[in-house]
Amino acid sequence: MRLLQLALGALGLANTTVSQTITVDAYIASESPIAKAGLLANIGPNGSKSQGAKAGVVIASPSTSNPDYLYTWTRDSSLVFKALIDQFTLGEDTTLRTHIDNFVTAESILQQVSNPSGSVSTGGLGEPKFNIDETAFTGSWGRPQRDGPALRSTALISYANWLLDNGNTTYVSNILWPIIKLDLDYVSSNWNQTTFDLWEEISSSSFFTTAVQHRSLREGSALATRIGQTSVVSGYNTQAADLLCFLQSYWNPSAGYITANTGGGRSGKDANTVLTSIHTWDVAAGCDAATFQPCSDKALSNLKVYVDAFRSIYSINSGISSTAAVATGRYPEDSYQGGNPWYLTTLAVAEQLYDALTTWDQLGSLNVTSASLAFFQQFSSGVTAGTYGSSTSTYTTLTSAVKTFADGFVAEVAKYTPLNGGLAEQYSKSSGSPVSAVDLTWSYASALTAFNARAGTITPSWGAAGLTVPSSCSPDAGATVAVTFNVDATTVFGENIYITGSVDALENWSPDNALILSAANYPTWSSALPTILSRARMANLRRSLLSSHSHCEPAG
């Protein structure tokens, strides 16, 4: 059946949409080479769809209108090349080295291009996208985006470690390290500044950005030590510890999910969080919750909340069991290009589950906690909190069901993949037809990484194992300020206004313990925060509260 479909695609029926019935194994076998070819076609200048791009430059998509994606994004390019570097360093494809070396050269050039975010020394590394001829994009945009330098350094560090393992220290020290250090220094100095999220819509603090920044500094410190650049190690480690501390504040314990952004006025249920788990996976860390590893109770609880948010909002999900896989998108409030499911977000769910399965297999057990209980009860309603070894029937039941669940998300993507195997950005929430940008490079990369995860591929550790969250965060150089919250709200007799948020002083997102505001200056409700916050944390709280039509002011 699949061969017939591909033949029809070759005859010009590539955009014909059918609801395909195909096994996951068969889909992966046919789609893998298509995804790989589609990805490479978007790397200039020899890619069949990326002419005009300089060597090593990744175009986001060949689409030039509605939307125009014929640009190169630091984030997308870094994620794409991390996937290629993993394939190369793990020996899966030894032909990729020229592409990787071209990417290194291209990124070294782009780092030095002055742009609307600044120069290389004044913030320009936070510029999200460039023209494909390696010149600055000067139009209006959501800038800066501070995940790019972290992701680029992670990709290059993976390459550097492989080169060191194979005796090539000169290239690492003379070529790679200067590029990597620029990015790491930027992360170390700017991680606590406002950033646009990975969807380029919300300016606040973002879980994905914080997590990948934390990873980059941890592995950057290790690389620096390895090549004798010890002067930066202490600074990177200090900032990494603060990042890990700050990362905990995104967790919403009362609702059981990770709030993706500190601003934006949305629910916070977002694929941002699932992508974080897969791009910061470290099998050596087991099911560590502090780094939100794929099999951690927090990440699994979050995954269920995220997936369930899409069950009733897309027509193509109608009639699907409440415990079966469905199409998922960026976030439930999404309206971009009609607000549809994305191929890469649906595949990310599968990848997190496959990574969890691999980790449980390595550990020889899985642990059900009160936080992850609802997730596991989807597969066995009678399961209770506890640790289940791999020799137990409960372990077998749960892991088998999770594998089936994960395969279901790949099957959703297979169902709505067009006949030629091309992956766009989105697929219609009502018909399943591909929509938005065609041949999205990130979609192809996400397919390849999900398929590898299903096969049990393990990438090298980045140092997530054994980390301890500091008892208190130090997000800046000790500058603190008292905070007063003022909310303008008209109420009726008997109503009160409460506040809760992501720090201890605001009761850690607990509605039951939320702080009541005073109506002494009605209609302005006020409360002085019963502690001192750093200026950086206050800025995050201000952004969050402004999204809810309230504001906070420094006292004095």
Angle, helix 233-247 to helix 207-226, in steps of 10 degrees: 160
Alpha-carbon torsion, ordered 361, 365, 370, 375, to 10 deg:
30
CB 426 within 8 A of CB 340: yes
What are the two backbone dihedrals, phi and then psi, of residue 550, each rounded to the nearest 5 degrees? Answer: -130, 175
3-state helix, strand, coil in the chain (%, to 5): 45, 10, 40
Q: Count CB atoms within 10 A of the CB of residue 306.
A: 26
Minimal CA–CA distance to 62: which of 72, 75, 76? Answer: 72
Where are the extended beta strands (E) located within 425-479?
426-427, 434-435
Minimal CA–CA distance to 256: which of 317, 302, 321? Answer: 302
Measured between alpha carbons, how far is 286 from 297 in angstroms, rounded to an integer? Answer: 11
Left, alpha or beta for 382 (phi > 0: left; psi -120 to 50: alpha)? alpha
Q: Could you give the C-alpha distances from 317 to 257, 307, 334, 344, 431, in angstroms and in order?
A: 22, 11, 16, 17, 10
Find the helix or strand (DSSP H, E) in which 102 lies. Answer: helix 97-111
| Token couple for 65 | 């209108």
Minimal CA–CA distance to 118: which of 103, 128, 133? Answer: 128
Measured between alpha carbons, how far is 380 from 373 in angstroms, rounded to an integer? Answer: 10
- Give 69-97 as a DSSP string: --SEEHHHHHHHHHHHHHHHHTTS-GGGH
Measured between alpha carbons, how far is 277 from 402 in angstroms, rounded to an integer? Answer: 17
Q: Could you give the C-alpha distances from 230 to 316, 464, 466, in angstroms and in order?
A: 54, 20, 22
Measured between alpha carbons, how far is 168 from 78 in angstroms, rounded to an integer? Answer: 22
Measured between alpha carbons, how far is 176 from 360 in angstroms, rounded to an integer? Answer: 35
Ligand-binding site membership of 141 (annotated): yes
| Token couple for 401 | 């069901």
CB 28 within 8 A of CB 410: yes
Measured between alpha carbons, how far is 242 from 190 in angstroms, rounded to an integer? Answer: 12
Left, alpha or beta for 509 (phi > 0: left; psi -120 to 50: alpha)? left
| Sequence-separated (6 or more) residues with CB below 8 Å from residue 166 | none
Cα maximum dimension of the chain: 75
- As annotated, the active-site residues are 197, 200
Binding-site residues sit at: 141
Binding-site residues for substrate sit at: 141
